[in-house]
Amino acid sequence: MAKISLDKDKIRFLLLEGVHQSAVDTLKADGYTNIDYLKTSLPEAELIERISDAHFVGIRSRTQLTRRVFESAPKLIAAGCFCIGTNQVDLEAAQEHGVAVFNAPFSNTRSVAELVIAEAILLLRGIPEKSAACHRGGWLKSAAGAYEIRGKTLGIIGYGSIGSQVSVLAESLGMKVAFYDVITKLPLGNAVQARNLNELLNRADIVSLHVPETGATKNMIGAAEIAQMKPGAILINASRGTVVDIDALARALGDGHLGGTAIDVFPVEPRSNTEEFVSPLRAFDNAILTPHIGGSTQEAQENIGVEVAEKLVKYSDNGTTTSSVNFPEVALPTHENVHRLLHVHKNIPGVLTAINQVFSSHDINIASQYLQTNDKVGYVVVDIERDYSEVALKQLRDIEGTIRCRVLF
Ligand SMILES: NC(=O)c1ccc[n+]([C@@H]2O[C@H](COP(=O)([O-])OP(=O)(O)OC[C@H]3O[C@@H](n4cnc5c(N)ncnc54)[C@H](O)[C@@H]3O)[C@@H](O)[C@H]2O)c1
Ligand SMILES: O=C(O)[C@H](O)COP(=O)(O)O
C-alpha cells in the first residue's frame, strides 16, 4: 500500500451509476475506504452539491460532467469513466481545472460485438416481429423474408475496437465484411475498406455503426444515407444516439425501405429505469430496442470496475497518468526517501524554468523530474531529496499558468 501525504481515508470517492462492486473492492484493497456509492446518476444541481468535497468521481455514460460541475469541485483531481465513451465529460473544462480523466477503452467491446451479431441474426430471420406476434397470441410460421446470415455482407462504420471485433465474428459465421472509417485501417481477415460511406451503404445487407460521438458523426445516418442503403437492409446502432436521425429511420421502417433495425442508444435516453422511454421506433415490431446495454454484461462491468479503479489508484498513489484521455501521460516509478510534487499548468513557455528556479532558490536538490505536455496542459512531477518549505510550495503555486500544485508524498 503506497504512503501518500493525505491519509487515504480522507480521500473521498464519489461513485455513481452503480459501477461494479469490483471498483469498490479495488479501491478498498489499496486503502481507500471513504467511498460514497450511488446506484443512479445525479442531475447537475445535486451532483454539484455531492461533488463539492470529492477528490475522485466515478461515472458511466449517463452522468454529465459539465463545466459547471468542474467549477464546483475544487478538490477534484480525477474522474473515472467506467465505460468507453467520454463524450459526457467536458474534457476541456476538466483539463482547465487540472482534472485527469480516465476510461476503460476495451473491457466492454466484446460484449457489444456479441450483441450486434446476435441482433443481425435475429433481424435477418424476422424474429422480433414473430416473437411479438406470439406474445399477442399470433402465429407467424413462414420462411418468407427469413434469411441465413452466411454469405450476407456486413457494412461496419467505424473500424475501431468494436467494429474490428464485429468484423472477425461476422467472418467466422461466413459473412462478407466491408468497412468505412475516416482512417485507413488494417483490414482483419478478408474484410475490405470501402472508399467512402455511400459505397459501403450501397453494398451492405446489414449496416452496423461503431463510431464515437463527435461533430462529424452527428446524424451521419439520416434520410439521404438511408436512401443509399439496399431495399430491405438492416441498420444497427450500438454506438451513440446522436449518430442516427431517428425520425428518418422511423420513416424508412414505415415505408418498408428498411427490413429492420436494432437500436441500443438514443438521442434522448431516460435518466433512470423508472422514467418512460419515448421513441417513434416503439411502433415497429421489426425494431429491436434495447436500453443502452451494449456493454452491460457481468464480465464487462467487473473488468471495467477493476481497470478504471486501478487507474485512479495509480494516479492517487504515485501520479501516474498512463492512458488518461485528457492529460499528458506519465508513467512513474516509486522512489524511496523523496517527496513527490505534482505541478499541472497551462502549456505556456517558461513554466519549467520557473519551477526549477524555485527549487534552486531554496537549495532543494531534485532527485528526478518528469515532464509531459499536450497542446493545452503541462504536467511536471518532481521528486526532491529534502523537506520542501511552505514558502517554496506557495511560490510554485504562484507561478503564472499554474492550474494545480500539490505534494503527493
Ligand atoms: N452501446 C454501448 O453500451 C456501448 C458500449 C461500448 C462502446 N460504445 C460506443 O461505441 C463506439 C465505438 O467504440 P470503440 O471502442 O470501437 O471506439 P474506437 O475509438 O476504438 O473506434 C471508433 C472508430 O471510429 C472511427 N471514426 C471516428 N469518426 C468517424 C467518422 N466520422 N466516420 C467514420 N469513422 C469514424 C475511428 O477512426 C475509429 O476507428 C463509441 O461511441 C462508444 O462510446 C457503446
Ligand atoms: O461508452 C460506453 O462504454 C457505453 O456507452 C456503455 O456505457 P454504460 O456504462 O453507461 O453502460
Show the ligand 1 pocket: residues with CB < 6 angstroms.
Answer: 84-85, 108-109, 112, 157-163, 180-183, 210-214, 216-217, 238-240, 264-265, 292, 294-295
Q: How far is the CA of 279 from the centre of ligand 2 (A)?
A: 20
Q: What is the mean pLDDT of the chain?
A: 96
Average pLDDT over residues 307-314: 98
Instruction: Say which amino acid occupies 213.
Output: E
What pLDDT shows up at residue 213? 96
pLDDT beyond 70 at 2: no
Share of the chain above pLDDT 90, in %: 94
Pocket test for ligand 2, best of 20, 61, 265, 293 (most atoms within 8 A of CB): 61
Sequence-separated (6 or more) residues with CB below 8 Å from residue 389? 362
The finding on whether 19 has its CB within 6 A of some atom of ligand 2 is: no
Going by alpha carbons, the residue nearest to atom 10 of ligand 2 is 61
Range of weakest confidence among 46-55, 58-67, 235-244, 358-367? 358-367
The finding on whether 84 has its CB within 6 A of some atom of ligand 2 is: yes
Nearest to 229 by CA among 255, 247, 207, 251: 207
Q: Compute how many other C-beta atoms are within 10 angstroms of the C-beta atom of residue 346.
A: 15
ipTM > 0.85 (yes/no): yes
Residues in the chain: 409
Residues known to be catalytic? 240, 269, 292
The single residue listed with the C-alpha cell 461515472 is: 59
Distances (CA, A) of 185 to 113, 155, 192, 248, 251: 18, 15, 10, 30, 33
Provide the pLDDT confidence category of residue 232 given band limits of 50, 70 and 90: very high
What pLDDT shows up at residue 27? 98
Task: Catalogue all structural domains in the chain, each as residue range(s) with its CATH number.
Answer: 1-103+297-327 (3.40.50.720), 109-289 (3.40.50.720), 328-408 (3.30.70.260)
The finding on whether 303 has its CB within 6 A of some atom of ligand 2 is: no
Average pLDDT over residues 101-113: 97
Nearest-atom index, ligand 1, CA of 162: 16
Instruction: Say which amino acid occupies 356.
Output: N
What pLDDT shows up at residue 315? 96
pLDDT beyond 80 at 122: yes
Instruction: Say which amino acid occupies 179.
Output: F
Sequence-separated (6 or more) residues with CB below 8 Å from residue 344? 98, 377, 378, 379, 380, 402, 403, 404, 405
The larger pLDDT score, comparing residue 409 to residue 120, is at 120
Q: pLDDT by residue (tens digit) across 174-226?
A: 999 999 999 999 999 999 999 999 999 999 999 999 999 999 999 999 999 99
Q: pLDDT by residue (tens digit) across 59-103?
A: 999 999 999 999 999 999 999 999 999 999 999 999 999 999 999
Q: pLDDT by residue (tens digit) across 11-26?
A: 999 999 999 999 999 9
pLDDT beyond 60 at 119: yes
